Amino acid sequence: MPISMYQASVPALIRMLNSLAAILEKAAAHAEARKIDPAVLVNARLFPDMFPLSRQVQIATDIAKAGPSRLAGIVAPSFEDTETTFPELIERCRRTVKYLETLKPEQIDGTEERSVSWPSRGGTRTMTGLPYLLNFILPNVYFHTTTTYNILRHNGLELGKQDYLGPT
């Protein structure tokens, strides 16, 4: 049986965001145990021209909710980008997962050839559904989640591959 657009998107995104929330919970506990101001970690960057951890989480969740919504032809909920603490970032991940759980396979399956357009810094971008999922949505969510992981790992949080992959 071939894999569906829904199965290739929503469950994978939910799993990644649940892992991201767990990593953020671990980071909050780490900061408390080590008496590190959590704001230092929330605002940490890997390099000066990169976004801080908070923005990495915001982008990952924005793409995770907007991508499948565009495939389904519906508008995703909009979240303000005001999170400045680990609890707020964790809640953002959870709200995104709750939203993704409302999407149904029949809304997304069969969208491989649907034209999808979205605003970007360089103007409006357009792709068909399958390349949009495989070459934009998934890589972007994984990139920003991995960058969050790397910022925290670089700052001393003990994380391993299983933290990133989540429960199997």
Name the pLDDT band for 167 (thresholds 50, 70, 90). Answer: confident
pLDDT, average across residues 139-159: 97
Instruction: Answer whether residue 1 shows pLDDT above 60.
Output: no
Distances (CA, A) of 35 to 1, 27, 29, 38: 52, 12, 10, 9
Average pLDDT across the chain, whole number = 96
Q: Are 152 and 53 in contact (CB under 8 A)?
A: yes
Residue 153 lies in a domain: yes
Asked if the model's pLDDT at residue 112 lies above 70, the reply is yes
In which element (H, E) is residue 149 found? helix 138-154
Residue-range definition of the domain harbouring residue 50: 5-157
Query: Does the residue 167 lie in any domain?
Result: no
CATH number of the domain to which 120 belongs: 1.20.120.450
Flag whether 112 is in a domain: yes
Sorting pLDDT into bands at 50, 70 and 90, what band is 4?
Answer: very high
Residue 162 lies in a domain: no
Residue 9 structure tokens: 């998107």
Residue 55 has pLDDT above 80, yes or no: yes
What pLDDT digit, counting tens, does each position of 60-98 carry? 999 999 999 999 999 999 999 999 999 999 999 999 999
Percent of the chain whose predicted confidence (pLDDT) is above 90: 94
Query: How many structural domains does the chain have?
Result: 1
